Amino acid sequence: MFKNARNLARKYGSKALAVAGLGTASVGAFAQTTTNPIVTVLNAVGLDGVQAAVLAVCLIIVAIALTMKGPDVSKRVIRKV
């Protein structure tokens, strides 16, 4: 990296390019890892409560469906006997 910056500086005769090349090389060495704020928010949400709510809703829907179909099923069973 440093050799490329020096070669470019010699080629174009610019000391500023060499300084910029050395400056960007040092920035990468000291770069800190940042966390994504969206991922942080999603990780903060507790899935236990959501899972329990979804399970309860599914059970209610199945119970309603069975309640509505129960008389029809029982009529079919009685006819077969």
Instruction: For residue range 8-61, list pLDDT tens digits in order.
Output: 666 766 555 445 555 555 555 566 677 788 888 888 877 778 888 999 999 999
Q: What is the pTM of this model?
A: 0.39
Got the DSSP string for 16-68? HHHHHHHHHHHHHHTPPP---HHHHHHHHS-HHHHHHHHHHHHHHHHHHHHHH
Rounded distance, CA 21 to CA 6, Å?
A: 8
- Residue 69, pLDDT score: 92
